[in-house]
């Protein structure tokens, strides 16, 4: 616990430090009826001395120790140790001795805080804002007029950027340069002016159109690849047979009901290369 009190507080009730005493054995049961405990006080780190203040019981283990003015006549931190041997646990508290009065709601008892802030200046708001110069150089209206006539920050920044880009040329010179540039561009573009060049530019395909064209080309390539994969899958699924009657290698559809591709299996003289059984369930095997 901590306790705060003004230096040499004269009001006795404000010097009463709360104390809670518990059983020496279990450490939590409130001890009542304690009288004349051992009290030791140390002022701001000094040696301990027997407490000279008053002891009083509130009830349910709660007591108070009323410090003397002599025990709080030094700024800093006091420590108070209280114990009833054989009855209670040791109780130690910290007392902050302050240079101000924590009970003074108006000014905390500080001597350098005025009772009324109006004593700081006798000038009214109207006098401060007046051009009558209540103090040296205070012509608010004139200052405002001068300030309003200055260029804005945006105008200053724009002027600075323009100066950097044009090498301190004026607007008339910049206009002349633009006209000259337009003439040069016209010569380079086959007598076309900048407007004509712009018209030609906007007829070009857009980025989106170019990207769409690239996508279509990719999709067309994917379609070809998918066809090859499909045909390969059909071969893997045992739909490739040799027809000995027609002497052809035949690729059947997935259902085995129709031939979708065939290849001639005869040599240059018309003789068969291999012989095998028929039917979509059998893969051709040389005899």
Closest listed residue to residue 142, CA positions, set 150, 131, 151, 133: 131
User: Above 50 in pLDDT, residue 281?
Assistant: no
pLDDT in tens, 25-37: 999 999 999 999 9
- Examine the fold and report which residue of 54, 72, 98 is the final residue of a domain before the chain moves on: 98
Residue 12 lies in a domain: yes
Residue 137 lies in a domain: no
State residue 110 phi and psi, 5-degree precision: -85, 130
Instruction: Give the CATH number for residue 14.
Output: 2.60.40
Question: Over the Cα atoms of the chain, what is R_g?
Answer: 53
- Which pLDDT belongs to residue 200? 64
Strand order in the sheet with 2-6: 2-6, 91-98, 76-83, 38-43, 49-50
- Examine the fold and report which residue of 73, 98, 123 is the final residue of a domain before the chain moves on: 98
Rounded to a whole number of angstroms, the distance between the first and last alpha carbons of the chain is: 107
Structural domain containing residue 256: 237-287
Residue 154 lies in a domain: no
Residue 76 lies in a domain: yes
Residue 135 lies in a domain: no
d(CA 268, CA 242): 18
Residue 77 lies in a domain: yes
Q: What angle do CA 93, 96, 100 make, to 5 degrees?
A: 155
Domain count across the chain: 2
More confident residue, 271 or 53: 53
* Residue 5 near residue 98, CB atoms below 8 Å: yes
Residue 207 lies in a domain: no
Tell whether pTM > 0.75: no
Residue 184 lies in a domain: no
- Identify the band that residue 282 occupies on the pLDDT scale cut at 50, 70 and 90: very low
**What average pLDDT score do residues 262-267 get?**
78
- Identify the band that residue 286 occupies on the pLDDT scale cut at 50, 70 and 90: very low
pLDDT in tens, 194-252: 566 666 666 667 777 777 777 666 666 666 666 666 666 655 555 677 777 787 887 77
**What average pLDDT score do residues 244-262 get?**
78
* Residue 97 near residue 69, CB atoms below 8 Å: no
User: Above 50 in pLDDT, residue 283?
Assistant: no
- Examine the fold and report which residue of 98, 132, 166 is the final residue of a domain before the chain moves on: 98
Q: What is the 3-state secondary structure (H, E, C) of the chain?
A: CEEEEECCCCCHHHHEEEEECEECCCCCCECCCCCCCEEEEEECCCCCEECCCEEEEEECCEEEEECCHHHHCCCEEEEEEEECCCCECCEEEEEEEECCCCCCCCCCCCCCCCCCHHHHCCCCHHHHHCCCCCCCCCCHHHHHHHHHHCCCHHHHHHHHHHHHHHCCCCHHHHHHHHHHHHHHHHHHCCCCCHHHHHHHHHCCCCHHHHHHHHHHHHHHHHHHHHHHHHHHHHHHCCCEEEECCCCEEEEECCCCCCEEEEEECECCCCCECCCCCCCCCCCCCCC
State residue 277 phi and psi, 5-degree precision: -75, 170
d(CA 102, CA 263): 109
């Amino acid at each position: 616990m901590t306790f705060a009190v003004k230096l040499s507080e004269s009001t006795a009730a404000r010097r009463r430090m709360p104390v809670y005493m518990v059983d020496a054995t279990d450490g939590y049961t409130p001890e009542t009826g304690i009288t004349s405990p051992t009290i030791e006080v140390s002022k701001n780190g000094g040696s301990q001395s027997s407490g000279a203040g008053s002891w009083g019981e509130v009830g349910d283990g709660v007591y108070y120790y009323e410090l003397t003015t002599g025990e709080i006549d030094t700024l800093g931190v006091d420590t108070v140790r209280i114990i009833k041997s054989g009855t209670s646990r040791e109780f130690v508290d910290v007392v902050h001795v302050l240079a101000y009065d924590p009970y003074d709601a108006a000014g905390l008892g500080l001597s350098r805080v005025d009772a009324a802030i109006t004593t700081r200046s006798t000038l009214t708001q109207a006098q401060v804002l007046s051009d009558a110069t209540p103090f040296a150089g205070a012509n608010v209206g004139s200052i405002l007029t001068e300030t309003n006539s200055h260029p804005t920050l945006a105008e200053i920044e724009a002027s600075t950027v323009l100066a950097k880009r044009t090498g301190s040329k004026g607007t008339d010179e910049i206009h002349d340069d633009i006209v000259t540039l337009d003439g040069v561009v016209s010569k380079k573009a086959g007598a076309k002016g900048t407007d004509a060049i712009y018209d030609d530019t906007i007829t070009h395909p857009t980025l989106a159109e170019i990207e769409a064209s690239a996508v279509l080309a990719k999709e067309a390539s994917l379609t070809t690849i998918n066809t090859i994969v499909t045909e390969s899958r059909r071969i893997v699924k045992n739909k490739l047979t040799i027809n000995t009657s027609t002497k052809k290698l035949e690729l059947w559809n997935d259902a085995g009901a129709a031939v979708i591709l065939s290849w001639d299996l005869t040599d240059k003289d018309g003789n068969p290369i291999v012989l095998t059984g028929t039917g979509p369930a059998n893969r051709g095997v040389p005899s």
